[in-house]
Amino acid sequence: MRELATVLQAELDVVRELLTVCRQEQDALVADNITAIREAAGRKGELARRLAVLEEERQQVMAGQPGTQEIEKLRDLLRQAVRELQEANETNRLLARQSLAYVQKMLALLMPTVPAPVVMDRLV
């Protein structure tokens, strides 16, 4: 089993990578790049699974190790990275909702709810 500092550093690295992917997703949402949005979503899923494994390992390791100054520093860095990740996720959520509202408005303009009158051809 790894030391707590090593596990925390690995968690911090994954959270920072996740934050990078979330920021890429923001750019894709702003640019309406569906391919990039899908890629970011897939990458976020992979990173979330890695983070879950590391979190389980961290909880197992924490049971047997006392806190040190290095570990406290890593915990603080991890907390800060998680806060930034939460902010990026919230921004992405708002961007996605804004994009959806825009698409719905465009569809309403292109496809009015009132049916167009039927035009009969004289030949019928």
Segment 12-57, tens digit of pLDDT: 999 999 999 999 999 999 998 999 999 999 999 999 999 999 999 9
Query: Model's pTM, two decimal places?
Result: 0.73
- What dihedral do alpha carbons 86, 87, 92, 93 form, nearest 10°? 70
The reported pLDDT for the residue numbered 124 is 47
pLDDT in tens, 69-119: 888 899 899 999 999 999 999 999 999 999 888 888 888 888 866 666 666
- Give the long-range contacts of residues 64-73, CB within 8 A, separation 24 or more: 65/3, 65/4, 68/5, 70/5, 71/4, 71/5, 71/8
pLDDT in the model for residue 106: 86
At 121 the pLDDT is 57
Quick check: 67 pLDDT over 70?
no
Residues 60, 19: Cα–Cα separation, whole Å: 25
